[in-house]
């Protein structure tokens, strides 16, 4: 019995030893998953928040200082061309007009008298009954009176124009978006009384960082969506870029002209604008392939001929969810290990479970 147990043990040991000698490569090759580097990097998507404004927005103001006595429109009212939006107390301008008209009437009477005097002197001079100096004096008085009348007529015209400035009218159809003064207030010339969003196109206005202005694509297509209802969407193109950055925020105001804005996208709504930046030079690999070599990013490269791996340092341009953009260190067509990277060593044989 003892001899038979010894014989069985010897047979088992020989079998194990024989297996170890016949398949050393199968024991050393580590299974990994790899991916072929093919996909080029795509441009990053940038999102900014802005608001909807009228493409043509104007602030209506008086040309005169004065006390406002009437403002019949309010925020949200629709305006028609020629509609009165505010009035000033016209008493000062009315008095100025009456004074100018009275002065004109007085000077016209002087002109009439000068014309009669000149006609008499002209007749007397013809018959030789008056000296030439008297005729010249009458002629000079007539010309002076006529010049004074012309000046008085201009003063009347100015006074009437000043009187017309006491009423403020809408110059185009639109809607009132803001008011700057209430009836009874003394307002200055040029002070905003009513802000009007004129009918027509709409803009999406954004405050854009300087870096995006400098490095962003030229004339990009902008995707727009309401923040409170992302299903309401539109597209647009950059229509205007402020030439100077805001002194406080150091951002540039950019106006995006909305193409065929939906009815639900109203003035004042908050929107999100998205653009895709120009694709950077480089390739995309899964984030699981990334390891570190002496504190620097690296990947394991598979040599298809020898079925071994080598560690290669790379330069990462951008980290995305689930992937990284590599700007330097990889060529298209190379095999990069994506699973099993933590247990590899340089020169180790691998067995690829799947390559894409």
Other CB atoms closer than 10 Å to residue 50's CB: what's the count? 23
What pLDDT is stored for residue 43 in this prediction?
A: 72
The partner residues of 324 in beta bridges, in order of sequence, read: 285, 319
Residues of the chain with pLDDT under 50: 1-26, 355-356
Question: Is residue 330 a contact partner of residue 314, using CB atoms and an 8 Å limit?
Answer: yes
HSE at residue 317, side-chain half, CA atoms within 13 A, is: 18
pTM listed for this prediction: 0.57
What pLDDT is stored for residue 162 in this prediction?
A: 94
CA angle 199, 202, 204 (to 5 degrees): 155
Q: What are the backbone dihedrals phi and psi of residue 226, each rounded to the nearest 5 degrees, phi first?
A: -70, 140
DSSP 141-181: HHHHHHHHHHHHHHHHHHHHHHHHTTEEE--S-EEEEEE--
Residue 89: closest CA among 65, 107, 105, 110? 65
What pLDDT is stored for residue 354 in this prediction?
A: 56
Report all structural domains of the chain as residue ranges with CATH numbers, in order of start. Answer: 29-41+281-355 (2.40.420.20), 47-54+200-276 (2.40.30.170), 57-88+166-197 (2.40.50.100), 91-164 (1.10.287)
What pLDDT is stored for residue 343 in this prediction?
A: 77
Question: Is residue 189 a contact partner of residue 62, using CB atoms and an 8 Å limit?
Answer: yes
What pLDDT is stored for residue 37 in this prediction?
A: 81
What pLDDT is stored for residue 4 in this prediction?
A: 45
Q: How far lies 124's CA from each of 114, 118, 142, in Å?
A: 15, 10, 17
What pLDDT is stored for residue 112 in this prediction?
A: 92
- For residue 349, the 8-state DSSP code is B
């Amino acid at each position: 019995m003892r001899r038979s147990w010894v014989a069985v043990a010897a047979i088992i040991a020989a079998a194990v030893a024989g297996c170890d000698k016949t398949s050393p490569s199968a024991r050393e090759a580590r299974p990994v998953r790899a991916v072929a580097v093919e996909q080029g990097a795509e441009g990053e998507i940038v999102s900014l928040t802005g608001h909807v404004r009228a493409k043509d927005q104007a602030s209506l103001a008086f040309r005169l200082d004065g006390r406002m006595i009437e403002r019949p429109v309010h925020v949200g009212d629709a305006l028609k061309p020629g509609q009165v939006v505010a009035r000033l107390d016209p008493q000062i301008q009315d008095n100025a007009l009456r004074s100018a008209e009275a002065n004109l009437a007085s000077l016209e009477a002087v002109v009439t008298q000068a014309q009669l005097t000149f006609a008499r002197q002209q007749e007397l001079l013809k018959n030789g009954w008056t000296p030439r100096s008297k005729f010249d004096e009458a002629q000079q008085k007539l010309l002076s009176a006529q010049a004074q009348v012309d000046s008085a007529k201009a003063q009347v015209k100015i006074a009437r124009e000043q009187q017309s400035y006491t009423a403020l009218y809408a110059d185009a159809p639109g809607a009132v978006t803001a008011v700057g003064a209430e009836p009874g207030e003394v307002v200055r010339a040029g002070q905003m009384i009513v802000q009007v969003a004129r009918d027509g196109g709409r803009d999406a206005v954004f405050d854009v960082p300087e870096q995006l202005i400098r490095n962003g694509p030229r004339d990009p297509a902008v995707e727009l969506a309401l923040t409170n209802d992302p299903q309401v969407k539109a597209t647009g193109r950059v229509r205007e870029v402020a030439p100077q950055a805001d002194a406080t925020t150091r951002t540039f105001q950019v106006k995006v002209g909305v193409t065929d804005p939906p009815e639900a996208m109203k003035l004042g709504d908050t929107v999100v604008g998205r653009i895709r930046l120009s694709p950077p030079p480089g390739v995309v690999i899964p984030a699981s392939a990334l390891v570190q070599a002496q504190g620097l990013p690296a990947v394991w490269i598979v040599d298809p001929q020898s079925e071994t791996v080598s560690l290669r340092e790379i330069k990462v341009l951008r980290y995305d969810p689930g992937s990284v953009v590599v700007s330097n260190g990889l060529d298209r067509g190379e095999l990069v290990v994506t699973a099993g990277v933590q247990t590899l060593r340089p020169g180790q044989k691998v067995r690829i479970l799947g390559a894409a």
